[in-house]
Structure 1
Amino acid sequence: MRRLSLESVKPGMKVGRPIRNTNGQILLNVGTILSEKYIARLKLLGLHSIYIDDGLIPDVQVDDVIPEETRVKAIQQVKKLLQSHSDSMGGGISGTDKIYPTINDIIDQLLDNTKLMVELIDIRTMDDYVFAHSVNVCVLALMTGITLGFERPKLFHLGMGALLHDIGKIQVPKSILDKPGRLTEEEYAEVKKHPQYGLNILSKNPHVSSLSRLVVYQHHERYNGEGYPRQLKDSEIHQFAQITGMVDMYDALTANRVYRRGFPPHEAYEMIAGSGNYLFNFEIIEPFLSNVAAYPAGSIVELSTGEIAVVVSTKKGFSLYPKVRMLVDKEGNAVQELVELDLLGCRNVVICRVINDFDFSRVGQGIKYKSL
């Protein structure tokens, strides 16, 4: 299975991963044959890409770092929390204690699967972006905390703060958050108030610790002092907030938004890698990036040898050196036999570029392995 933009999806292709609506209900399940009607409907829902099974790597199964049912449950709980605040006419927020078990479940599941890499990018409708983003930031922050060796209580406070990090955005006008064009100075100034809004919402909540509230308040502060709301620097910013701000940036970069397409994972990886001791403390960057595949399984890449291959897996801690399966040889001919190369043990061969869907559609025809 591999991720494909909806512009490149054709009728007759097969769904490779369940597609859900904002309520967590499955719209199209694995194995569904896509029709023009289905594709048009997915576009109306605001989706830009889906996972398809086109037979290219039928033997490769990419797993999420947490079970899908846990992710769906967490998204629904975040959604319910935000709605409870709206229903209270801007007062406090209720039910934060009800997400304790879910955060503990996520911690348990991540601790049980410490060898898994982040290779999947959530497929989100525009309507559920905020909820799905919050859960993903929680998961990525906890993975970073686990790599840093945080004990269980610290992981819980970090996870709670990361899950609620954008709660203040419910007081920012939706017209600003969903604006497709560039924000005015006044609109951006309003967006920059959301950490303070979030702190205000949680300030009297007995179920959210002071550490978790600090994450909400400081997650947009930056190492160089150019963040907000207080322009804090370096050690003035709590480590939990720096971790959450870093993974928040990564997840936002890779997500499709109304005003721009998401960056490919390898580009977002490079942006975070280059931000050490500038936007974030260098000491938290490597632990985070060790959990993220720069080239997720299913990525089509060109090698320095001139060959074209598909990524099949990445060993944790070696994000830039995946195992690849050859598709097209140096002469431009489709490779008929199954040949794989582990770039981790072959450092004289590197990935030169990621090939987009359109370019691959022109060169990837007729690839079928005799052994599959």
Structure 2
Amino acid sequence: MRLISIDALQPGMVVARTIWNEAGLPLLQKDAKISIPIINRLRQLNIKYLYIDDKLSQGIEVSELIAPEKRLEVVKVIKDSFKKLRGIEGKDVSYVLDKQSNEIKMLVDNLLESILNSNEMLTVLTDSYLYDEYLYQHSFQVTLYSIAIAKELGYKYDDLRLIGIGAMLHDVGKLQVPTNIIMKPGHLTNEEFDIMKEHARFGFDILRNLHSISLLVAHCAFQHHERLDGSGYPRGLVDHEIHPFAKIIAVADVFDAVTSNRVYREKMLPSQGIEIIEAGSGTMFDQRVVDAFKRSVVHFSNGTIVLLSDGRRGIVAKQNMNNSARPYIRIFEENNTMLKSTYIISLEEYPELSVNKIETEYISHVE
């Protein structure tokens, strides 16, 4: 299978991965043939990318650490739990969330089991899942990334569990922000952004009153937008003042935000999101956390067409577990000429080579 931009989709192409909605129902089934009406519908749903099957990508698979059924179940529980908090104010929010805490802990325990029992890196599954509200998917994704980073950093189970709970609840304060600000399709005004920034403080106030969850979880919500150089919010804390758990969640939060569709801008591909994180390493984000993150997350997903610095074109065929930034590439084109037979190289063995461009709009002429 390979990743293709919606702008390059053509009638007759075959869907390689089912697209699911928030109810756990398939919107577009695997093996379905693309048609003009389907392309138009995908555009209406704001889908930017799709996995297709063709001869060029034959035998290439995109692995999924969390099974679709489990992912959808977790997001549904997050959604149900958070919806119970909407419209409630003051200590009543903490009371209701306290009653939900066992379910949230169970979700984190299940995710921990999957991550700890696997040596795979996390793959961003582009547009394979659609949710009616970004908050629920984001809470799930940030939990996955945060646990993976913390695992790579060597944290033990009890701390991994706390980090997971903190990540799942890091944005709970957004439930206290007016919906018209959360869902605004354009850029926020300065006044609106000031209100949005208060979600970190709202989250802390909600979580610090819980009897069933550690106070550290409240600090994860309070500090996940703080930055090492003091440029973050809500308190402008600097490096030594920020809890290590919040430093982890900060990286996971930004990466998922930029690699997800938002109402005010389009998503980035994983490698572009990683560049954003790298650019802030040592100034905004903790260097050790960034390095662990880069080892934990797939940079170039399997099935991605890439143009190499020497002009060769290929498709990511397999991940390199020792160096996530240097995967195995199936070369199919040299000097803009399609090869009669492909061959595979490991970028790790060719340090002089780099990926110049990701080509999701590439049209294969292989029949």
TM-score tier (shorter): over 0.9
Q: Please give the alpha-carbon distance, in whole angstroms, between the structure 2 residues aligned to 1:13 and 1:258.
A: 29
Q: Please give the alpha-carbon distance, in whole angstroms, between the structure 1 residues aligned to 2:268 and 2:282.
A: 22
- Structure 2 counterpart of 1:19: 19
Contact kept? 2:124, 2:270, Cα under 8 Å: no
Task: Map 1:84-233 to 2 at 5 A.
Answer: 84-86=84-86, 88=88, 91-92=92-93, 93-94=96-97, 95-125=100-130, 127-233=132-238
Asked if 1:335 is matched to 2:347, the reply is: no
- Structure 2 counterpart of 1:326: 331
SS class of match (2:33)? coil
Q: Please give the alpha-carbon distance, in whole angstroms, between the structure 2 residues aligned to 1:324 and 1:115.
A: 18
RMSD: 1.8
Deviation at 1:64, TM superposition (A): 1.6
Deviation at 1:296, TM superposition (A): 1.3
Q: Deviations over 1:67-96 (max 9, x none)?
A: 222211111111011111026467313312
Contact kept? 1:18, 1:28, Cα under 8 Å: yes
Contact kept? 1:293, 1:319, Cα under 8 Å: yes
Contact kept? 2:6, 2:50, Cα under 8 Å: yes
Contact kept? 2:327, 2:347, Cα under 8 Å: yes
Q: Please give the alpha-carbon distance, in whole angstroms, between the structure 2 residues aligned to 1:259 and 1:231.
A: 25
Q: Please give the alpha-carbon distance, in whole angstroms, between the structure 1 residues aligned to 2:266 and 2:226.
A: 25
Q: Deviations over 1:122-169 (max 9, x none)?
A: 534362321111101000000001101111100000000101111111
SS class of match (2:296)? coil
Q: Please give the alpha-carbon distance, in whole angstroms, between the structure 2 residues aligned to 1:181 and 1:320.
A: 34
TM-score (norm 1): 0.92
Structure 1 unaligned blocks of 5 or more: none
Deviation at 1:21, TM superposition (A): 1.2
Q: How many residues are matched?
A: 362
Name which of 295, 304, 320 aligns with 1:299.
304
Contact kept? 1:253, 1:268, Cα under 8 Å: yes
Structure 2 unaligned blocks of 5 or more: none
- Structure 2 counterpart of 1:76: 76
Q: Please give the alpha-carbon distance, in whole angstroms, between the structure 2 residues aligned to 1:117 and 1:4.
A: 20
Contact kept? 1:118, 1:291, Cα under 8 Å: no
Q: Which amino acid aligns with 1:267?
A: Q
Greater RCO (Cα-Cα under 8 Å, separation 6 or more): 2
